[in-house]
Structure 1
Amino acid sequence: MLMILSCVMLASFIYFLMSKKLSALTALILIPTLFALIGGFHAELGKYVIDGLRLVAPNGVLMIFAMLYFLTMTEAGMFDPLVARIVRAVRGDPVRIFIGTVLLAFIVALDGDGATIYMIVLSAFLPIYKRLGLSRPMVCCLLLQVSGLGNMVPWGGPTARAATAMHVDVGEMFVPMIPAILASVAWTFALAYMFGRRERVRLGGAIDINGDFSELGEHRGAGGWRFNFNWALTSLLILALCLELFPLSYLFMVAACMALIVNFPSLKDQQDQLALHAPPILAVSSLIFAAGVFTGVLTGTGMTKTVATGLLEIIPDSFGPFMALLTALLSIPLTWLVSNDVFYFGILPILADTAQHHGISAIEMARASLIGQPVHILSPLVASTYLVVSMLKLDYAENQRFTLKWSVVSSLILLCVSLLTGIFPLYVR
């Protein structure tokens, strides 16, 4: 009965979201609540919700103060000279702009955090997208491709989880995957070129926008000791994030306060900044905590575990020699449906146990389990995705429909190159 309830609930969630009959915020809260009550979980429902909120609270706080930090820095003019240089380099050409977007995003992605990618890249490029009228779904799609691949660095969450769950060395697991990841990186640049060509045709070629941004770097405090302080603070912040000196949320809380005090010394100016940035911050943080309700109810009621177990039970024994390939293919939809913790610590060990009987090693299974990461980044359980959608003022469901097919292609490229390079087998005899 729980399996049927779980499947109907997930189907309803996807339907109401994609059909735009409910917003992401209302769907994340109301649908799991309704099905939990139908399933008779009313007595423990409050506990499940609080548990889910505790789970997402660090991410929620991180997003609130990360947005406040970068939005404050943008208002202070920190990124104006960078934007001016980029404008001069891309010359109003959509192809150059999209390729530049992807290049900067991959550089930032080395820290393994999607939120940082969106904040820094959009701070630099968003005025250009708006001026040219470039497709925001295309921009969002490209950034999500980069974020999905950036998550796969050894210090990123999914790779560390897979290595931990399989008890293998993360470096030994990751290094052979580099050719497959680079192939997907190349695909992302190719996608940027293709999107850019489409936009170039739609817009009728390149547009001279240098005059629109010629004054950047000459106002809003872009210069002087505050400008140097802002870049020094941001560099130290990124270094601290990479070294994990303190929790990410706490680092951004401290940095945001310092940014406000230095760039807007008067109390009134600080209050004005908070009022200015409150709407976008509220939009993102509310979705993150709504996702906490969704996660808490699914986990607490056992729906997530039931769906995972049910999927494993229908796999025939004859599929054993293909278990690495099957794991790679299952990771594409499953990491969209469930959290990384559930997949890597709950589902992967069961799949690996079956694979071991057929001579497939734990490290091969760990590599196979990462194939779905370009699609996982679109999951409603990924907090940072709400951030980029909100910053670009897109509809969440429309973004899913536009981006999903390209993310699946990225996962399939990872899969094909992985099989060709032999980092996990197609099948074992």
Structure 2
Amino acid sequence: MLTLLGGSMVATFMALIMTRRMSALVALVVVPIAFGLLANGGHIGPMMLDGLLKLGPTAALLMFSIFYFSLMTDAGVFDPVVRGVVRVAQGDPLKIYLGTAVMGITVALDGDGTTTYMICVSALLPIYKRLGLSLQYMATLLVMSIGIMNILPWGGPTARAASALHLEVADVFVPLIPVMVAGFAYNLVVALVFGLRERKRVGVLSAEQFREMKRDIAQVPEYRRPRMLWLNVTLTVLLLVALIIGVLPLPILFIAATALALMINYPSLAEQKERLSAHAYNVVSVVGLILAAGVFTGILFGTGMVDAMAQDLLKVTPDWLGPFLAPATALFSGVATYAVTNDAFYFGMLPILAQTAQEYGIGAAEMARASVIGQPMHLLSPLVASTYVLVALLDLNYGDNQRRCMPWVLGLMLVMLASAMLFGVLPLKASLA
């Protein structure tokens, strides 16, 4: 019963937002409350509060990371990047989309989706708007970039898989490097397709139009701080290093960095108020969604729907599937991590899958590698906070973004799975050892 309710809750939520019957914020609250009442009567209040408490640090992280990177954009930290992209692209949509894919992969080396979206959108949005290019295409390329780079050991899923199966992270990750390269190649192909479409639609800028665009981008707003460029770059680099090595909890790092950015670039109270007010809409829209997602996850976990879905999905696995459990797990991981959190999948379901696979001669390391192939699909889950940041920054509809990203993300998963089997990272079919 709980499995049916959990699956129906996720399906109803996605149907409502994809058909634009409800906004994401409303659906994240109304849908789980309705299903929570069916599952647990009138005892869902503490569950929702627990969900809010658990997502509180995430909401703080997103709030201050948006403020920080917005302030860096205002101060002009990304202006050299914008000028560099313009110089290389020469007003050609094809080159801009290829540059977007390369930038997304490069910035995503830190393994964090929110940071990648903030930096890439801040740098590229002025160019896209000036040329009238599709922001949805940008969003799709960036989602796929994170889907690939999330496999990095510090990205989270690989470390979870290794921990759950008591493996060395290197044994899981290193064989996956060629798979990531194949995923990057696919990302470039998709960028090529998008670029050719947009080149046909908007054309390539003439020499005069290109000079005009350069003049527009070269105009410096009053709130730019060019003299502070290297100080701001240094602050940002130190922040990213601190994020990677874990000097302090992420929300605390961004709160401190935002305070320093305000103090350095906009010392007067009037300037600080003006800059914070300029970005308040983005902050409120994202943080509101995250807190609403707390209601969703609180009820999903508190009612036991997640546990029931995990166990019942494993029970219905047919016997004939046993020898094919490695590629099946790769595909299943996309579906599973879309419906439940990474923690629920890697610590609750993967050990059971791996134990079953051993009966067919499939090693734990192979199952761990298979389990991270579905990460591109996970990024489209309503449980992933960074996606809300992306759609808010680009002013996209959440449901439209899910629907339009999905086919390309599925393609990325299949390419990564095919390459994993081609390179011998995963077996197509195993026999008893």
Q: TM-score, with normalisation over the residues of structure 1?
A: 0.97
Q: CA deviation at 1:5?
A: 2.2
Note if contact 2:147-2:375 (Cα within 8 Å) is conserved in structure 1.
yes
State the match for 1:100 in structure 2: 99
| Counterpart-to-counterpart distance in 1, 2:88 and 2:370 | 39
- Counterpart mapping for 1:76-225 below 5 A: 76-206=75-205, 208-214=209-215, 216=218, 220=222, 225=227
State the match for 2:339 in structure 1: 337
- The 3-state SS of whatever aligns with 2:50 is helix
State the match for 1:24 in structure 2: 24
- Counterpart mapping for 1:328-407 below 5 A: 328-407=330-409
Note if contact 1:55-1:292 (Cα within 8 Å) is conserved in structure 2.
yes
Note if contact 1:18-1:398 (Cα within 8 Å) is conserved in structure 2.
yes
- The 3-state SS of whatever aligns with 1:423 is coil
Note if contact 1:77-1:217 (Cα within 8 Å) is conserved in structure 2.
no
CA-to-partner distance for each residue in 1:135-174, whole Å, 9 max, x for gaps? 1111100010001111110111111111111111111111
Name the CA shift for 1:280/1:219 in 2 (closer, same or farther; >3 Å): closer
For structure 2, the 5+ residue unaligned runs are: none
Note if contact 2:92-2:203 (Cα within 8 Å) is conserved in structure 1.
no
State the one-letter code of the partner of 1:295.
Answer: T
State the one-letter code of the partner of 1:39.
Answer: A
Q: CA deviation at 1:3?
A: 2.6
CA-to-partner distance for each residue in 1:99-123, whole Å, 9 max, x for gaps? 1111111111110001111111111
CA-to-partner distance for each residue in 1:199-230, whole Å, 9 max, x for gaps? 00001333533423336275546565422211
Note if contact 1:68-1:256 (Cα within 8 Å) is conserved in structure 2.
yes
Q: Judge which range, 46-55 or 401-410, deviates more.
A: 46-55
Q: Judge which range, 47-56 or 107-116, deviates more.
A: 47-56
State the one-letter code of the partner of 1:12.
Answer: T
| Counterpart-to-counterpart distance in 2, 1:186 and 1:335 | 24
| Counterpart-to-counterpart distance in 1, 2:49 and 2:163 | 27
State the one-letter code of the partner of 2:393.
Answer: M
State the one-letter code of the partner of 2:406.
Answer: L
State the match for 1:69 in structure 2: 68
- The 3-state SS of whatever aligns with 1:209 is helix
State the match for 2:39 in structure 1: 39
Name the CA shift for 1:81/1:11 in 2 (closer, same or farther; >3 Å): closer
Note if contact 2:139-2:390 (Cα within 8 Å) is conserved in structure 1.
yes
Q: Judge which range, 8-17 or 28-37, deviates more.
A: 8-17
| Counterpart-to-counterpart distance in 2, 1:130 and 1:217 | 15
State yes or no: 1:13 paired with 2:28. Answer: no
| Counterpart-to-counterpart distance in 2, 1:300 and 1:199 | 46
State the one-letter code of the partner of 1:410.
Answer: L
State the match for 2:268 in structure 1: 266
Note if contact 2:225-2:265 (Cα within 8 Å) is conserved in structure 1.
no
Name the CA shift for 1:223/1:271 in 2 (closer, same or farther; >3 Å): closer
- The 3-state SS of whatever aligns with 1:78 is coil
Note if contact 2:107-2:116 (Cα within 8 Å) is conserved in structure 1.
yes
Q: TM-score, with normalisation over the residues of structure 2?
A: 0.96
CA-to-partner distance for each residue in 1:289-347, whole Å, 9 max, x for gaps? 11111111101101111112111111122322221122111112111111101110111
Note if contact 1:93-1:200 (Cα within 8 Å) is conserved in structure 2.
yes
| Counterpart-to-counterpart distance in 2, 1:410 and 1:24 | 25
Note if contact 2:76-2:226 (Cα within 8 Å) is conserved in structure 1.
no
Note if contact 1:3-1:307 (Cα within 8 Å) is conserved in structure 2.
yes
Q: Judge which range, 221-230 or 104-113, deviates more.
A: 221-230
Identity %: 46
CA-to-partner distance for each residue in 1:88-109, whole Å, 9 max, x for gaps? 2211110111111111111111
Q: CA deviation at 1:237?
A: 0.8
Note if contact 1:80-1:217 (Cα within 8 Å) is conserved in structure 2.
no
User: For the aligned residues, what is the CA RMSD?
Assistant: 1.5
For structure 1, the 5+ residue unaligned runs are: none
| Counterpart-to-counterpart distance in 1, 2:297 and 2:223 | 43
Note if contact 1:109-1:117 (Cα within 8 Å) is conserved in structure 2.
yes
| Counterpart-to-counterpart distance in 1, 2:7 and 2:376 | 24
Q: CA deviation at 1:387?
A: 0.5
Note if contact 2:340-2:383 (Cα within 8 Å) is conserved in structure 1.
yes
Runs of 4 or more consecutive aligned structure 1 residues displaced over 6 Å after TM superposition? none
| Counterpart-to-counterpart distance in 1, 2:129 and 2:67 | 21
CA-to-partner distance for each residue in 1:345-403, whole Å, 9 max, x for gaps? 11111111111122111111000001111111111111000101111100011111100
| Counterpart-to-counterpart distance in 2, 1:85 and 1:12 | 45
CA-to-partner distance for each residue in 1:215-253, whole Å, 9 max, x for gaps? 627554656542221111111111111111111111111
Q: How many residues align?
A: 428
Name the CA shift for 1:210/1:304 in 2 (closer, same or farther; >3 Å): farther
State yes or no: 1:427 paired with 2:426. Answer: no
CA-to-partner distance for each residue in 1:38-92, whole Å, 9 max, x for gaps? 223422x122112212222222111100100011111122222321222122111
| Counterpart-to-counterpart distance in 2, 1:2 and 1:191 | 39
Note if contact 1:76-1:263 (Cα within 8 Å) is conserved in structure 2.
yes
